[in-house]
Structure formats: C-alpha cells, structure tokens
Structure 1
C-alpha cells in the first residue's frame, strides 16, 4: 500500500512553492469555490456543487488511496513564511490496473492561479513521485489525455515532458469530442 504523502514543488523566481497533499475535509469550501468556474467545469467529469458534494468527492479521493487505484492531491500555493496557503489546483494519478505498465495523470488549476505555472509544476512533482513511489511495480509510462480543443492542457503536457502520441477518436457520450494522448516514459 502506498502511504499518503506530501510532495513539494520548488518556488520559481516569479511564483511561490507548491505543496501537494491528499485531500482533506477542510479543503471542501475552496474546492466548491474552484469548481464554480464554468471553464473548469467544462473540462472535468465531476463537479462538486456544494459542501455535501464536496465531502463525498473528498471521501472518494480517500478511498482511491486506500484501494491503491487513485492518488489525488490538493495543490496549495505556499503562504507567507512558507506556511500553508490557498488551494490553487489538483493533480491525480490513476492506476486502473495496480501493477499495470501504464497509469494516467490528470490535473486542474483554479481560475485565480491560471498563468502562474501551477499545472506544469504540480504535474512534474506528481510525475517524479509516480515513477519513484511504486518501485518495481510502478508504471513504465504515464499517459495524459485531454480533449482536442483544450489547448491549455496541450501546452501543460508539452511543458511537462509529455510527448504527443496520437489523436483519439470521440467516444460519446462520455467523450463527445476527439482527444489527444500524451505520454511520458520512466526515465525521460
């Protein structure tokens, strides 16, 4: 079993460090506020609308850790003097087959934090952890999928070393439009 952990992303010249940790109940107000953004809702399958939805969402993330199939992290920007800061996004590693050769990554950035390099920095921290944390049973490659018309996700993938591999056909109703597949191999 993988123990829930906290990951760090270094500060840059322009932006404070990021802290990535498993989701907690006290994240729910900020989570619900972030998901009120119509742009974010457009790209995500699940959108908590209120505190009750948010608590259920956080409980599912916790179960994902327990089951070893979904490792979701809240992304926080460091506050003054390096203390805990505000929620700026989320990242996740999904392993539908626990000992499979591949896993999928996902991410989102809260509206006020867009354009600050949050997604690439958080994705880089998640990627490094994913290849390291699972030892010999870890994935050999990580896949990043996004809808074809999501140019921002394409740029994040490229900045994070995820090479474009293929256009995936639409698969309605869950995936009504075609998508992109980006891949990063272990050691790349």
Structure 2
C-alpha cells in the first residue's frame, strides 16, 4: 500500500511531500522530460502521453510487487507542481537496494535533490521489512558532479566506479554506498 513521506523545510527550501505517482501526473511527467539535462542523466524515455502512462504503470507495478517504491516530489501543502522523482528499488536476486532521483529544472539549487533522497534513504532500510538490505546504493554517471554532491549530502560514501556496460549504461558510473546504522 503506497504511503507518503514528509520532508521538513530546510535552510535551502520549503517542506516537501513524497507521494506515490498517479495518473494525474502524466502531463507533469511529459513536461519534466522535455528538459535536456534530465534526459541526459536518465534512461527512461517519456516523450508523450503514451510514454507517461507506460512509465506511471511501471511505478504502480513496483508498489504492487513491493520491489520498487517511486514517489513524486512536491512542495507540501496545496496542489503543488511536481519538483522531482525519488525511488527506492530492490531488484530480484539482489541483496542490497538502490536509491535514485531526478529533479525538474525549476527545482534545481533548492535542496530538493538532496533532501528527498536523504529522507527516503533513512526509511529505506526498513521499507522491505525484516529481510531489508544492509546497504543502499546511489549510482550516477561518473561525469555528473552534481549527483556526486547530492550523494555525499545524503550520507553516501563513494565506494567505486562501474565500468561502462552498453547499451543500457554506456558511460562509467560512480557507486555511492550508505550502510545500515545499527
């Protein structure tokens, strides 16, 4: 059952709400993916309403299987526009889990990219119950300096470099790790 998470206001921005994506978000999703910078760093293709419906269906199925918890990031309060996306995923057969995120152009520089993944990471260790992971990973392309800064702000240490793996992951990537705090 999807839940929402509150993110307290910070020095760099207002209070946020992490809420499950819904059908009404299709237009905001298409608009977000018009941004060249977002498309550069993400692998999903959302060019039109049909792509958005498909993407939203994938997020819903992730909740249903309990393997992927995807949230739209919005300002807390009234009907606010989507500022970004944050996801906690645990692929089949993998002992750890991964946190991913993106932000819309208007949200960059406002602390959204570091605050939303930090809150989801804090909750991530418990999200899968007793069989939850002992570590979370945040992976980004090696030349994405902004994501490196976000990872460090969220408590993830650089653990290594992934070699390129075309076609899914053509460039090399940084792997940042956050261990379960006992």
| TM-score calculated relative to the size of structure 2 | 0.95
Report what 1:166 is aligned to: 160
Give matches, 1:25-36, under 5 Å.
25-36=23-34
Report what 1:19 is aligned to: 17
| RMSD value, Cα | 1.4
Distance of aligned partners of 1:137 and 1:115 in 2 relative to their CA distance in 1, 3 Å threshold: same
Q: Could you tell me which runs of 5 or more consecutive residues in structure 1 were left unpaired when the two chains were aligned.
A: none
* Kept in 1: contact 2:141–2:174 (CA 8 A): yes
How many equivalent pairs are there?
Answer: 182
Q: Could you tell me which runs of 5 or more consecutive residues in structure 2 were left unpaired when the two chains were aligned.
A: none
Distance 1:147 1:167 in 2: 9
Instruction: State the Cα distance separating 1:154 from its structure 2 match.
Output: 0.5
1:5-62 CA distance string (max 9 Å, x none): 0001001244111100110011111111011001100111112111121111111100
Q: Which segments of structure 1 move beyond 3 Å, counting only runs of 4 or more?
A: none
Instruction: State the Cα distance separating 1:90 from its structure 2 match.
Output: 0.2
Report what 1:113 is aligned to: 107
Structure 2 residue 48 is the aligned partner of structure 1 residue 54: no
* Kept in 1: contact 2:66–2:128 (CA 8 A): no
Give matches, 1:120-135, under 5 Å.
120-135=114-129
| TM-score calculated relative to the size of structure 1 | 0.92
Instruction: State the Cα distance separating 1:85 from its structure 2 match.
Output: 1.4
* Kept in 1: contact 2:75–2:81 (CA 8 A): yes
Structure 2 residue 75 is the aligned partner of structure 1 residue 77: yes
